[in-house]
Amino acid sequence: KFARQLYPHLTPYYTESASLIVSKGQPAEALYFIKTGMVHARLTPNGPVLFPLTEPGSFFGEHVLCSLVHARTSSYHFVSGGQCELISLKHKDLVRVSLKMLSTEGLERVAHALKDEAISKMRLRYWAIRLLVGEETHSSEPYAALLLQAYWVKRVGIGVLQTLDPKGLYPDFFPPAKAVGASRAPTSRGSCHPPPIAPPLTKRISWTLRLPDDEQSESEPQTSLSLAKLLSTTPRPTAFSQAASADPMPAGDSRPAACNAVMAEAAEAVEAAEVVEAAEAVEVAEAAE
């Protein structure tokens, strides 16, 4: 029944070779499913392929549904690797049909699938960068920049996603429940006001970032630098400590506010840091260890 309800909202989408489907830094117009062909994920439109999407049913463009500020835009350029036949589904149609047709358990399965897909793409990006790190043609500055990217993806990107609840990551599938049959207490003026709605869960998020299960082997390049050391090379306030000690998210906001602040600061610092400073930070940290 769920598939039949989605069918009227599915739109065929055809591309020629080397066609840009989703641009990096931009929100996707829809969720795209691969029917035939291959789609490449790249950091630049004509750059090396980080990973391909080839399996029928593979999808991309789901980042718009994520509540994290840094994840609402695409982290890659998705470019067709040849003639492709795709199926597009607008995000609002997916959310509306899901809320109408699926139970709470079904919605949780959708949210978990979206989270797993985001982590999977992050892992593919991490290993693609590690392969570039292994090349011996880099000078010190590009090498330090690649190490910094690999560190950010593994410790901040994958590490934070693994610790977050899918319900908080994709709040569109879990709208706040409306109070039904709530009792009304008369005031001194005789008017009635509904009782206050309980605020959402205000559990503070732990910011002890953990490495994924695939720990590095001794033969791999050292990328275990402290992000605090790298960020300390720039004259920026310690927003990590500020975000960690911030007030819980306000009532009515289902997004992990502290997570947004930390991830946005990390992304800004990583992109704004000079490559030379990153190289110096790598050398200093390795010497200290």
- Least confident segment among 18-32, 162-176, 189-203: 189-203
Task: Give CA–CA dist 206/191, Å, rounded.
Answer: 44
Q: How large is the average pLDDT for residues 197-220?
A: 39
pLDDT score for 196: 45
pLDDT score for 43: 86
- Supply φ then ψ for residue 6, to 5 degrees: -80, -25
Q: Which residue bears the tokens 């358990």?
A: 105
Is the per-residue pLDDT at 217 higher than 80? Answer: no
Q: Please indicate, yes or no, if residue 214 is contained in any of the structural domains.
A: no
Do 121 and 91 lie in one domain? The reply is no
Contact 266, 230 (CB under 8 A): no
Do 50 and 163 lie in one domain? The reply is no
Beta bridge partners of 84: 15
66: exposed, middle or buried (Cβ count in 10 Å: 0-12, 13-18, 19+): buried
Give the Cα-Cα-Cα angle 238, 212, 66 (nearest 5 degrees): 70
Is the per-residue pLDDT at 207 higher than 60? Answer: no
Task: Give CA–CA dist 101/103, Å, rounded.
Answer: 7
The total of structural domains in the chain comes to 2
pLDDT score for 161: 86
Is the per-residue pLDDT at 44 higher than 70? Answer: yes
DSSP secondary-structure letter at 140?
A: H
Do 273 and 158 lie in one domain? The reply is yes
Rounded to whole angstroms, what are the CA distances from 31 to 88, 152, 283?
A: 6, 26, 42
Q: pLDDT class for 27, splitting at 50, 70, 90?
A: confident
Other Cβ atoms closer than 10 A to 225:
20
Contact 17, 80 (CB under 8 A): yes
Contact 201, 255 (CB under 8 A): no
Do 254 and 135 lie in one domain? The reply is yes
Task: Give CA–CA dist 98/248, Å, rounded.
Answer: 29
Q: Please indicate, yes or no, if residue 180 is contained in any of the structural domains.
A: no
Q: Please indicate, yes or no, if residue 18 is contained in any of the structural domains.
A: yes
In what order do the strands lie in the sheet containing 20-22? 20-22, 77-80, 39-42, 49-53
Q: pLDDT class for 87, splitting at 50, 70, 90?
A: very high
DSSP assignment of 178-247: PP-S---EE-TTS-EEPPPPPPPP-PPPP------SSPPPTTSPP----HHHHHTTS----HHHHHHTSP
Domain containing residue 58: CATH number: 2.60.120.10
pLDDT tens track for 149-186: 888 888 878 888 889 999 999 999 999 876 444 444 44
Q: Please indicate, yes or no, if residue 210 is contained in any of the structural domains.
A: no
Do 38 and 97 lie in one domain? The reply is yes
Give the residue with greater pLDDT, 116 vs 288. 116
pTM of this prediction exceeds 0.85: no
pLDDT score for 279: 52
In terms of residue numbers, what domain contains 254?
Answer: 103-174+221-289
Is the per-residue pLDDT at 137 higher than 90? Answer: no
For the chain, what is the mean pLDDT?
Answer: 72
pLDDT tens track for 221-275: 333 333 333 333 333 333 333 333 333 333 444 444 544 554 455 455 445 444 4
Q: pLDDT class for 136, splitting at 50, 70, 90?
A: low
Contact 164, 254 (CB under 8 A): no
Q: E-assigned strands of the chain?
A: 11-15, 20-22, 31-36, 39-42, 49-53, 59-60, 77-80, 84-89, 185-186, 192-193
pLDDT tens track for 52-76: 999 999 999 998 898 887 778 898 9
Contact 108, 167 (CB under 8 A): yes
Give the residue with greater pLDDT, 280 vs 227. 280
pLDDT score for 93: 94
Is the per-residue pLDDT at 211 higher than 60? Answer: no
Do 146 and 254 lie in one domain? The reply is yes
Do 36 and 124 lie in one domain? The reply is no
Q: pLDDT class for 108, splitting at 50, 70, 90?
A: very high
Task: Give CA–CA dist 95/93, Å, rounded.
Answer: 5
pLDDT score for 285: 52
Do 70 and 118 lie in one domain? The reply is no
Range picked from 80-94, 120-134, 230-244 for highest mean pLDDT: 80-94
Is the per-residue pLDDT at 190 higher than 80? Answer: no
Beta bridge partners of 77: 42
pLDDT score for 22: 94
Is the per-residue pLDDT at 30 higher than 70? Answer: yes
Task: Give CA–CA dist 20/139, Å, rounded.
Answer: 31
